[in-house]
């Protein structure tokens, strides 16, 4: 009995050590993945669609200070015709503001100035761990406040995000009601389901995810329980347009479906055929524009001409 107990205890200890090591590896990789440079992002964009509209735009680069003093780099791209509408377009994990150019023509044509921030630890910002909306949503809240103060007489302010940026767009609704609409493209409802869905050893994935959550809390100060954008929808009155590629296997479409079901009246959800992760606007740009314009026309105060 004693020998069997020692073997069982040893096996349990080894399993716990494996889970702890796996959890630390997952959390460190998730928070510290390689970021794209602005040059790399621009090269990718130019290879996949026409970016010639971007250079002629009037642009202003500036920084804001977030709630904890962290500096966020931002670029304003003015619409060709004067307008008092603004949209904040937020990129995904490892990307930067250049990666959001593909969404801009739709908004420029609809009469919106486009505000493009670099997320914490990305782009021109100082290195920092990714906290999968725990801090990014608070940064976005600070940018919303700054936008309201910086630009006078704003008639409409919207949010549009992709992947991590989309999750942050949903997550910020916990802190603000001072936006007129939000668009979330391939957002995750909670980070844990993304990790467990991509870990190959399915039998261990729940254990590793919990271990990774603990490791994240110990090393970065935030657990996975604080990385649940879906929780921010409780009590929100901001209408949300959810868009998700039908073939997204990284962040599955069920994430958007779950959040849509928790969203206020006026929200919509659309799944884009044949589109993988963050590919919807590239696979079916006309359909994407159709969904966006139809959604905008339902926002109180919106008219075709700004």
Top pLDDT among 257 and 221 is at 257
On whether residue 305 sits in a domain, the answer given is no
302 inside domain: no
Is the pLDDT at 70 greater than 70, yes or no? Answer: yes
Range of the domain at 8: 1-31+193-225
If we measure between CA atoms, which residue out of 191, 31, 183 comes closest to residue 122? 31
**Which position has the higher pLDDT, 18 or 118?**
118
- Strands 113-117, 71-77: pairing is antiparallel
pLDDT band at 207 (very low <50, low <70, confident <90, very high): low
Quote the crossing angle between the two packed helices 205-220 and 191-198, to the nearest 10°: 130
* Residue 221, token pair as written in the block: 């100060």
Domain boundary among 225, 249, 269: 225
Give the model confidence (pLDDT) of 87-102 as tens digits.
Answer: 999 999 999 999 999 9
Q: Kindly report the number of other CB atoms within 10 A of residue 105's CB atom.
A: 18
User: pLDDT digit string (tens) for 250-273?
Assistant: 999 999 999 999 999 999 999 999
* Model confidence band, residue 206 (pLDDT cutoffs 50, 70, 90): low
Percentage of the chain beyond pLDDT 70 is: 83
Average pLDDT along the chain = 88
Bridge partners, 183 (sequence order) = 160, 241
Residue 198: pLDDT over 90: no
Domain of residue 151, CATH code: 3.40.50.1820
Q: Would residue 179 count as lying in a domain?
A: yes
- Mean pLDDT over 226-244 rounds to 96
| pTM for the model | 0.89
172, 289: one domain: yes
How far is 301 from 305, CA to CA, in rounded Å? Answer: 11
Residue 18 included in any domain: yes
The pLDDT value recorded for residue 200 is 46
Q: Do residues 7 and 145 both lie within one domain?
A: no
Bridge-based pairing of strands 59-65 and 71-77 is: antiparallel
pLDDT given at position 11: 40
The answer to whether residues 266 and 181 belong to one domain is yes
State both tokens at 250: 């990284």
Answer whether residue 219 is part of any domain. yes
CB 70 within 8 A of CB 128: yes
pLDDT of residue 29: 55
Half-sphere exposure of 2 (CA within 13 A, CB side): 0
pLDDT of the residue at 169: 98
pLDDT at 151: 97
Q: Which residue has the tokens 């919207």?
A: 158
Say which residues have a Cβ less than 8 Å from residue 227's Cβ, sequence separation at least 6: 131, 132, 133, 134, 190, 191, 192
> Would you say residue 26 has pLDDT above 60?
no
For tokens 């995810």, name the residue. 209
- In this structure, the answer to whether residues 45 and 158 fall within a common structural domain is yes
Query: Do 182 and 200 fall within a single domain?
Result: no
**Domain-located, residue 159:** yes
Q: How far is CA 110 from the centre of its chain?
A: 22
Partnered with residue 86 across adjacent β-strands are 113, 157
Q: Which helix (H) or strand (E) holds 99?
A: none
The answer on pLDDT for 12 being more than 50 is no
Answer whether residue 161 shows pLDDT above 90: yes
Asked if 95 and 129 sit in the same domain, the reply is yes
8 and 90 co-located in one domain: no
Question: Quick one: 159 and 285 in the same domain?
Answer: yes
Q: What is the pLDDT of residues 30-52, one digit of tens each?
A: 666 789 999 999 999 999 999 99
| Assigned domain for 306 exists | no
The structure tokens 């992002």 sit at 41
* Domain final position from 174, 201, 225: 225
- Is-contact 123 112, C-beta < 8 A? no
* 81 lies in the same domain as 204: no
Asked whether residue 281 carries a pLDDT value surpassing 50, the answer given is yes
User: Region 235-255: what's the mean pLDDT?
Assistant: 97
For 227-238, the DSSP string reads --GGGGGTT---
Structure confidence at residue 208 as a pLDDT band (50, 70, 90): low
Tell whether 301 is covered by a domain.
Answer: no
pLDDT digits (tens, 9 = 90+) for 127-138: 998 899 999 999
Give me the pLDDT at residue 222, please. 76
Q: Confidence class of residue 306 from pLDDT cuts 50, 70 and 90?
A: low
- Clarify whether residues 103 and 146 are in a common domain: yes
Do 155 and 208 reside in the same domain of the chain? Answer: no
As for how many domains the chain has, the answer is: 2
**What was the pLDDT predicted at 18?**
46
My answer on whether 131 and 255 are in the same domain is yes
In this prediction, residue 24 carries a pLDDT of: 55
């Amino acid at each position: 009995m004693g020998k069997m107990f020692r073997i069982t205890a040893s096996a349990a200890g080894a399993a716990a050590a494996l889970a702890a090591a796996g959890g630390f590896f997952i959390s460190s990789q998730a928070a510290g993945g390689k970021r794209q440079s602005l040059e790399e992002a621009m090269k990718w964009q130019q290879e996949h669609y026409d970016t010639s509209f971007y250079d002629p735009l009037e642009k202003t680069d500036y920084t804001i200070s977030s709630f904890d003093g962290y500096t966020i780099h931002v670029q304003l791209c003015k619409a060709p015709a004067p307008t008092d509408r603004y949209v904040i377009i937020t990129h995904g994990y490892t990307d930067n503001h250049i990666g959001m150019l593909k969404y801009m023509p739709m908004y420029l044509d609809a009469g919106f100035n486009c505000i493009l921030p670099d997320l914490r630890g990305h782009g021109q910002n100082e290195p920092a761990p990714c906290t999968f909306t725990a801090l990014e949503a608070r940064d976005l809240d600070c940018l919303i406040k700054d936008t309201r103060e910086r630009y006078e007489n704003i008639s409409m302010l919207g949010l549009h995000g992709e992947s991590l940026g989309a999750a942050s767009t949903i997550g910020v609704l916990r802190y603000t009601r001072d936006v007129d609409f939000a668009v979330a493209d391939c957002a995750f409802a909670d980070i844990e389901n993304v990790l467990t869905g991509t870990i190959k050893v399915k039998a261990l994935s729940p254990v590793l995810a919990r271990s990774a959550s603990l490791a994240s809390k110990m090393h970065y100060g935030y657990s996975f329980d604080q990385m649940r954008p879906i929780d921010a929808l409780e009590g929100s009155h901001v209408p949300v347009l959810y868009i998700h590629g039908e073939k997204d296997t990284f962040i599955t479409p069920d994430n958007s479906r779950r959040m849509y079901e928790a969203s206020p009246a006026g929200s919509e959800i659309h799944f884009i055929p044949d589109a993988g992760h963050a590919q919807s606007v590239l696979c079916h740009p006309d359909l994407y524009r159709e969904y966006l314009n139809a959604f905008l026309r339902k926002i109180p105060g919106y008219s075709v001409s700004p």
